[in-house]
Amino acid sequence: MLTIAALVASVCGVAAPAASGQAAARLHVSAAAGTATAIPGFLIQSSAEVTDDAAVSRPGFATGGWYPVTSRSTVYAGLLQNGVYPDPFYSTRMRDVPKARFQVPWWYRADLTLDSTEQRTYLDFSGVLAKADVWLNGTRIATKDQVNGAYTRHDLDVTAQVHQGVNSVAFKVYPNDPNKDLSMGWIDWAQTPPDQNMGIVRDVLVRRSGPVALRGAHVVSKLNTSLNHVDLTVRADVRNDTATAVSATVSGTVAGRAISQTVALAAKEKKTVTFATTGIDNPSLWWPAGMGGQPLYNLDLTAAVGGTASDAAHSTFGVRDVKATLNSSGGRSYTINNRPLLVKGGGWSPDLFLRWNQQYVSDKLRYVLDLGLNTVRLEGHIEPDEFFDLADRYGVLTLPGWECCDKWEGQVNGDETGDPWTAADYPVAKASMTGEAERLRNHPSVISFLIGSDFAPDATIEKNYLDALKAADWPDPIVPAASANASPQLGDSGMKMNGPYDWIPPNYWYDKAHDDSGGAWSFNSETSAGPDIPTMDTLTRMMSASELNTLWSNYSAAQYHRSQSSTFANIKLFGDALTGRYGKPTSLSDFVRKAQLAQYENVRAEFESHNRNFTDGSNPSTGLIYWMLNSGWTSLHWQLFDYYLDQNGAYYGAKKANEPLHIQYSYDNKSVVVLNQNHSPASGLTAVVKLYNLDGTEKFTQTRTGLSVGGDGARTTALTIPSVSGLSTTYLAKLVLTDSAGREVSRNVYWLSTKSDVLDWDNSDWYFTPTTAYADLKGLSNLAQVSVAATATTANGADGTTTTTVTLRNTSSGKVPAFYVDAHVVGAGGAPVLPIRWNDNAVSLWPGESTTLTATYRTADLGGAAASVRVSGWNTGTQTVPASRR
């Protein structure tokens, strides 16, 4: 099992080079029919170092000085892997990498050893950014005009070009330009790598088969409205690649039921075989996490000629029904298996250099569930197959689609970047849609495809996309845009993209009066309050001392780790609000701790407002995608957790807001609401609300007993806080929900002000609304210091995990709470153990109160050290306690 250090090193490209370049780029190809084997790695080199293209792909070509890289690697990632450049995630190192080296094509070369040529041989691949010539044994078998686009899939029959023994394949990959190519770009998410991600980022498969190839096997499922019967129809493409007519029998099982069909194929003929429908009563339904289980069925097929297996296919699928209709207010409303679904998620970012690390991706998807979210949106950067396999298994919904602000919308994008399309782009786009539709159609985690982002496609582009989706038996809703746009056939999107993308106060999210705002109504496809400052542990890993000093002392300074966009170049809006609301920071540590409070309250309000308004009678909130879930590198904005998987105020604000059974405060009308996102209703609940001045004096208390709340996102109002006299300018609200047995099921602490944040709606811009007066939270700096007793124990699990249990108690004799107390498990060198999942964190405790926090993590991530727990609070100081074994 990887330690976090090894995991991050492998993802960051700082691992040592492979011991043998030739070994890293050599594949022994199975002779068995029906096999598909990924080329394990390549040797790469600049075309500026090559004088004869044909020679590169001849066996025995001298590769001294070439760089060994993994099977999925951009050029820059490969050079990082080989130690050519230092860690690009620290300071401005990536900015200093010369770009000229990447303005010429690069070669990717590998050797393939075939024991036999009795079977046919194919190269099957996608994920080339963005064009390539393909060579095999000295012959060019495809040109860059054919291998064009990151998502187009290619199935090259190379039987005539290969021989027994060593064969050599080479890809001449041309420079990628997202404004000119239908590929992938970074828009305003991060700084763009110097090579613009040119390379090969999905596996190149070597397939073997007999005379008949089997491709595109999939299941079309039709679930009845009562959910107690499903009809399964299996389809597959059967292709005779020989010059002789054959008869093939395709047989196998779907969900354990036998199917079979014989098909006659003329020479070079392809047919789509449709099997008789298989019916299953009372199927096991696939659900998002938290709503049910994630059972998967198998599809297995074999094509045989003359009783001998020629090719085989295996895939999994889930049975579920997804609908996404427009409600009476025009918003897109999802249901799954007849139950209402509030889509709650974040915008997904892959690694900046598009490197694949399955453990790292798995950890991020587990964080999605830990946050109480159910969805990730993939705007472009559509991940490889393993990503969707994980999403299926974990019950994380996905919203893939094309990206904005580059070539993908160049024909319809108004004044945004991206070249207009030429005649050659239309077939590439349609082939891209075909490739992704065929790849994703049987993943139950995929609930839509967004064929537009900021803009909807025009009639021609839309027709091409829809034709491709129909031909692929696409089973799920198709959305014309992530913005409030319409396309000719699909009509209105039912979504909005009104921002904000930079700082606004928490009360912004409750607004429903402005139809061009990002408040809690309709389906908000991307929005947040912008900067998400990491923890001090991460900041010191990503920025130099001088950069950190500038971060807190000069908000107007350009921040390389924020964005390449001039709009988001600095943190001025965030910093001005931090000073205006919390007081001018006095140091870096003061800035960071105030930033965590600001992020917690803002992100909590964003999710709580949308959760509350899900069941509104008019213009309800139907979806929220936090922009973004994560960043592909060490960033200062748009992330609920940082690149190293540390959890800051934004993380815990979202986690608190998305508790299944939850009590919350409403910034718009001071109501206290109980929300239930479980399916079953809850009853016998008691809500207690208390307001405190900062000296600990209780100024208001009210209790409501006998509360009931329905399931599936229902809400009930416990009470509305009246006007309370004598409150300090900054005050605290403690909300506690207990069940019928008196057990605490939700606790929520707010820091509020008698002075409100005032928004200047009339001067809103696309990315923020100005604030003309700030809430006054400066009083928090005057909270008296209190003492917290902390003890911790640790126990190893049987599955390679460790659980650390932390007990915190406010031992002070006064009335002041221990405010915003955060715990970090630390291991070797005092570094935080990551990834980690806490049951709760960033808690506040009044005198005499205690709480127990539990953290689960991989034992190996302790780095061989004994676990300790670092406990820090706003007004408690910092202490580190050993986590004794039990």
Active site members: 454, 526
* 3 state DSSP class of 217: strand
Q: Which residue has the tokens 């008698």?
A: 754
Given a contact cutoff of 8 angstroms between Cβ atoms, the answer to whether 310 and 592 are in contact is no
Residue 564: CB atoms within 10 A of its CB come to 14
- Which residue from 414, 411, 416, 379 is spatially nearest to 398, judged by alpha carbons? 379
Residue type, 437: A
Query: What tokens were used for 665?
Result: 């405060």
Q: Which of 360, 357, 440, 365 is nearest to 72 (CA)?
A: 357
375: β partners: 345, 397
The pair of three-digit structure tokens given for residue 394, joined into one six-digit string: 């974990």
Q: How far apart are CA 586 and CA 778, in angstroms?
A: 13
SS3 content of the chain, % helix, strand, coil (to 5): 20, 35, 45
Structural tokens at position 432? 């891209």
**CB proximity list for 428: less than 8 A, separation 6 or greater:** 148, 149, 152, 182
DSSP one-letter code for 446:
B
Give Rg (Cα) of the chain: 28
Under DSSP, is residue 67 helix (H, G, I), strand (E, B) or coil?
strand
Question: How far is residue 54 from each of residues 24, 124, 164, measured CA to CA in Å?
Answer: 22, 21, 20
Contacts for 468 with CB less than 8 Å, ≥ 6 apart: 430, 431, 433, 434, 437
Cβ neighbours, 10 Å, residue 746 = 20
Give the DSSP H/E element, type plus range, for residue 423: none
What beta strand segments (E) does 139-243 contain?
139-142, 154-157, 165-174, 199-200, 204-209, 212-223, 229-240
d(CA 501, CA 527): 6
Distance CA 871, CA 878 (A): 6
Cβ–Cβ < 8 Å for 666, 574: no
Tell how many helices (H) and how many strands (E) occur in the chain.
Answer: 13, 52
Cα 856 to Cα 61, 233, 639, 654, 869: the distances in Å are 51, 43, 22, 19, 13
Strands laid side by side in the 154-157 sheet: 35-38, 204-209, 120-125, 154-157
Is the sign of the CA dihedral 565, 570, 573, 577 positive or negative?
positive
- Supply φ then ψ for residue 786, to 5 degrees: -130, 165
Total Cβ atoms within 10 A of residue 237: 16
Whole-angstrom distance, CA of residue 698 vs CA of residue 732: 9
User: Beta partners for 661?
Assistant: 676
CA-closest candidate to residue 43, choices 110, 111, 102: 110
